[in-house]
Homo-oligomer: A and B are copies of this chain.
């Protein structure tokens, strides 16, 4: 370790209140070197568990002075390696900044610290009859700070939009230690550049968020859930288009392809009609129970022409849970067939869903690999899972992933619909956006972080 590092650590030790700094203890640091990607373990040199904005400010000020990398860390549930300390330095965790500061039913607004777990916020606002829609799969563990960093989505994004649509304002500390406040408590506002939107999805490379003001909705009082089988993905995709073209926007429209279905069938044999090669999980919601039920029946009618067998509509909460278990245990079931998988999260224009699924399958087949595709069909956000059995297959898997990302871009889509670029996809950003646009973004990064100390090596390919 360099002299600057030792001095920086000593300064942090002196300036931070007791209990904030973790250093020197490898066992304590190691968990901070992992996230939900499979990119390996990159333990930081030290961890600071900030308890307030002042702690964050001190860390960034000291790190700036000594040119030490700082990596913001939340629940470490990210899938693209965004919180890995690939250049060492300080992992700045906001997990202890977990207070819900305010829930206002009058203004339909909540103010929270970044370490609040998403499910905790949702439960709290629901007590007030309110609703915070974004629902990434990790909602029981992920934090709002991470959601803001990644612009998290989830199934309900189809009807309700992603995190960016709900963030009204932020407090954040720049890498220089300067505190900024963006946005406003009003729903509308166009003064100056939209720095709030620029920070949302910036993957912890521009600033460390210390407070988030989100917009809330009244909670829809009723939800209806249905499961529909189809002969193949094409038929399911046709059904999705027909539903949306009729102006019915369900709160989710989740697709599972034949490989996914085969995995599910292992634990639920005989559950789906013979010849089924795709599933759609549909939910509608609203305040009038009858209307919500009418709407799901309308969806069932619209998809009937393409469906295989009966549309299964949940009659009660137990049946709803049962339907969702099909989706929830999908990952586990896939691993029972192939112990390893690499999950991509491309997004394509809606009309390209069948072609994207077919291309992913063909890419896998060409390399001797099975690919299971499932995801948020309503908005074209597909999780293509490349399945494999041993680490030795990894080079082929990486080839498949690269080809899948290329296909998504060729179809007018993106390499990442909701997981972020992080470390995992930084070498593919130019493929989607071109060298010039990436260069422009590097220059924007330098405005916020002139010394390049904040989450270095992320998003952009190594120069």
Contacts and interface: CB of A to CB of B under 8 A. Distances in A.
A432 interface: yes
Contacts of A432: 184, 191
A437 B186 contact: no
A107 B412 CA distance: 11
A259 interface: no
B417 A186 contact: yes
A381 interface: yes
B247 A418 contact: no
Given A186-B413, A191-B429, A200-B194, A181 B434 contact: yes
A195 B193 CA distance: 11
Interface string A163-207: 011000000001000101110111111111111011011100010
Contacts of A434: 181
Given A349-B109, A433-B192, A185 B412 contact: yes
Interface string A345-386: 001111100000000000000000000000010011100000
Contacts of A381: 186-188
A316 interface: no
A70 interface: no
A190 to B, nearest CB: 5
Contacts of A105: 245
A184 B448 CA distance: 25
A440 interface: yes
A219 B246 CA distance: 9
Contact of A459 (B192, B249, B417, B448): B192
A412 B184 contact: yes
A36 B444 CA distance: 33
B198 A194 contact: yes
Contacts of A444: 193, 444, 447
Interface residues of A, number: 86
A186 B218 contact: no
A203 B418 CA distance: 29
Contacts of A186: 347-349, 379-381, 412-414, 417
A441 interface: yes
Given A197-B164, A379-B188, A419-B190, A108 B350 contact: yes
Contacts of A248: 287
Contacts of A414: 184, 186, 188-191
Contact of A180 (B182, B429, B436): B436
A416 interface: yes
A220 interface: yes
Contacts of A249: 217-218
A150 interface: yes
Nearest to A379: B187
A456 interface: no
A420 interface: yes
A407 interface: no
A315 to B, nearest CB: 23
A202 B197 contact: no
A189 B191 CA distance: 25
Interface in A420-458: 420-421, 425, 429, 432-434, 436-438, 440-441, 443-444, 447-448
B441 A189 contact: no
Contacts of A180: 436-437, 440
- The 6 A-B residue pairs with the shortest CB-CB distance in the complex, in nearest-first order: A218-B247, A197-B197, A189-B414, A185-B412, A186-B347, A106-B351
Interface of A: 104-109, 129, 150-151, 153, 157, 161-162, 164-165, 174, 178, 180-182, 184-195, 197-198, 200-202, 206, 217-221, 241, 244-249, 287, 291, 347-351, 376, 379-381, 412-421, 425, 429, 432-434, 436-438, 440-441, 443-444, 447-448, 459
28 contacts: A107-B350, A157-B188, A164-B194, A165-B165, A178-B436, A180-B436, A186-B379, A186-B381, A186-B414, A187-B347, A188-B379, A188-B380, A188-B418, A189-B417, A190-B416, A190-B419, A191-B415, A191-B421, A191-B425, A191-B432, A191-B433, A192-B421, A192-B433, A192-B441, A193-B198, A195-B437, A218-B245, A220-B247
